[in-house]
Structure 1
Amino acid sequence: MGIKYRKSYKFAVKSSVVITLFSTLLLLVLQYLFFNINMLFTVTFTLLFFAFSFFVLQYRVERFIYRRIQKIYKEVSILDESVLRNQPVTTDMQTLMYEVNKFASDKKIEIESLKVQEEYRREFIGNVAHELKTPLFTVQGYVSTLLDGVKDKAIRKKYLERADKGIERLIDIVSDLDMITKLETNELKLNKQTFDIVELFQNVFDLLEMKADKKDITLMFDKDHYRSIYVNGDREKINQVVLNLIDNSIKYGKENGTTEVSIEGLTDKKLLIRITDNGYGIEKKHIPRLFERFYRTDASRSRDIGGSGLGLSIVKHIIEAHNEHIYVESKVGVGSEFSFTIEKAVKK
Structure 2
Amino acid sequence: MKKKRVGILIFLILLIGFSIVFYKENFMSYQYPDENVRHEGTWLTWPHSHTYGKTYAEEIEPIWIQMAATLSQDESVHIVAYDENLKQHIEDTLEKNNANMDQIDFVIAPSDDVWIRDTGPIFVKDEKGQLAIMNFSFDGWGKKMPYTKDNLIPQAVSKQKNFPIIDASDLVMEGGSMEISADGTLMATKSSVVSNNQNASLTQTQVEDLLKKYLGVKRFIWLDGVLDEAITDAHIDGFARFLDKDTILTVPEDDFYDLFEGISEKDYDLLHSATNANGNPYQIIEIPLTKNNVRGLDYKGSYLNYYIGNQSVLLPVYEDSNDEVAVHIMKELFPEKTIVPIDVRALYKNGGMIHCVTQQQPLV
TM-score (norm 2): 0.23
Higher relative contact order (CA 8 A, sep 6+): 2
More strand by share: 2
TM-score, structure 1 as length reference: 0.24
Instruction: Name whichever structure is richer in helix by fraction.
Output: 1
For the pair shown, the structure with the greater C-alpha radius of gyration is: 1
